[in-house]
Amino acid sequence: MLMSIKKTQNVSSKKDNSNLIVAIDMGTSRLRILAANVSAEGHVNVIGFLEGPSAGISNGAVSDLSLLSNALTTLVQNFETEFNINLERLVIGIAGRHIESRNEHGTTTVLSRTVTALDRDKAIESAKSVRLTEGSHIIHVIPQNYEIDSSTDISNPIGLYAMRLDVRVHLISCNRDQENNFRSSIDRLSPNCKVDSVIYNGLAASHAVLTESEKEIGVCLVDIGAGTINVAVYDNKQLIITFGINRGGDAITRAIASFYGIPLNIAEQLKIAYGTAHTDLLTEEERNMQVSVPVNTGDGTQETYTISVLQLASTISYVLLDLMRSISDRIEHISREMNKGFLLGAGFVLTGGVAQTRGIDIVASHYLVPNNYKNDGTIRPVKVKIGVPRSTSGSDMVNTPDKAVIVGLARFANQEYCQEKESLIGDDSNKVKSVVRKIKDWFSKEF
């Protein structure tokens, strides 16, 4: 996750260069690179940001390694030239159906009767000892809470007296082959360019936009990109549900292209320029609006298509409602399996490119939660807002819903890096304590 800077006169803040974190978000429609300094409190100071068109990725999976590598090479070269930054170590995201998650329990005996970092790590290792789907491996272990003897809901057990330590964790795993495909695309950039860690996009987006108070009262982050939807549910500050769906904004684009018989790129332009999440949100003028679209036929001539803004909104609405039903059904299914309901006091927070669709928050408030009806049979709307990255500086370009993942990758990577340093310090401290304890034991036996 750390990187070096080319030594040029244009680079001024050399004192922070060693702490720069570089993240790459490889989406179905867009590729993004961000270099930033991240403080211990999570403030992201952007040093460089660039994005470009993606290629060779379909529904969050690598479909053509050569196309992806070529697109990445072009973007990286432009990035290095524009910001005088040489990419060496970085973090990347992964999304979609390659992600699996589960909540597990681990335990260990506290031999010294005082919980140490080593005891905590042993309990977590115990929780990780589960059988995964063939071909998958764990990429995240997120502690939910600890228990010692009769005390529960402990956030930090170190230093507490106990005979036994229990931990509940949220495990996120991914398909190793797909991860290796993404790593290969980075390896092709340069022999010196290496991936430090792979981060689940839904986790990254939640770190970019959610507040601790939202996590405490319950919130569901839904990141809707072009090819995938990534979900993270928090309750009482604990991450309890994560999953990915291999559908996204491209489903809307294809529905428009199919309905009008137009190329995908034209359908995408129409969606962005004139798209609205529901026909009820259109003004009277918009309901009667017709858009003329010239389309090249391939033989040197053009054919003009007349597009109804009303019908366009109807098509978008139909696909959006289907996507939201898929999200709600999945949450409801997992809730039944866990035998636990979620209050979601903070409601839903939407990020990703599709979150920029006009009126999507209004539509989502009526359709994201199933069976949410009042006594009179009408739907009770839930809280829905559009999320943008918080606590950033250095560039206004990252303060939009579609940049949540790239900002979150940097913030989460910095958190992991800080935890690694604390763990190393803790390990050294434990070694010293162990030596001191052995010396004391020896003296007590001898004298």
Range list of H helices, 275-393: 284-287, 309-338, 360-367
Provide the pLDDT for residue 379: 62
Instruction: Report which residue type is found at 289.
Output: M
Q: How far apart are CA 308 and CA 286, in angstroms?
A: 9
Neighbours of 44 (CB within 10 A): 26
- In CATH terms, is domain 99-175 a member of 3.30.1490.110? yes
Whether the CB-CB separation of 72 and 51 falls below 8 Å is answered with: no
Overall size of the chain counted in residues: 447
Provide the pLDDT for residue 420: 76
**Model confidence, pTM:** 0.88
Provide the pLDDT for residue 88: 86
Whether the CB-CB separation of 394 and 47 falls below 8 Å is answered with: yes
| Coil/strand/helix, residue 307 | strand
Provide the pLDDT for residue 374: 54
| CATH class of segment(s) 249-386 | alpha beta
Q: What distance, in Å, lies between the first and last C-alpha atoms of the chain?
A: 52
Encode the chain (447 residues) as per-residue pLDDT tens digits.
444 333 333 333 433 445 799 999 999 999 999 999 999 899 999 999 999 999 999 999 999 999 999 999 999 999 999 999 988 889 999 998 889 999 999 999 999 999 999 999 999 999 999 999 899 999 999 999 999 987 888 999 999 999 999 999 999 999 999 999 999 999 999 888 899 999 999 999 999 999 999 999 999 999 999 999 999 999 999 999 999 999 999 999 999 999 999 999 999 999 999 999 999 999 999 999 999 988 887 777 888 889 999 999 999 999 999 999 999 999 999 989 988 877 899 999 999 999 999 999 999 999 887 555 555 555 678 999 999 999 999 999 999 999 999 999 999 999 888 877 666 555 555 555 555 555 555 445 544
| 225 strand-pairing partners | none
Provide the pLDDT for residue 423: 63
Q: Could you tell me the CA-to-CA distances from 349 to 141, 239, 247, 345, 387 in Å, in that order?
A: 23, 15, 18, 12, 6
Domain ranges of the chain: 99-175, 249-386
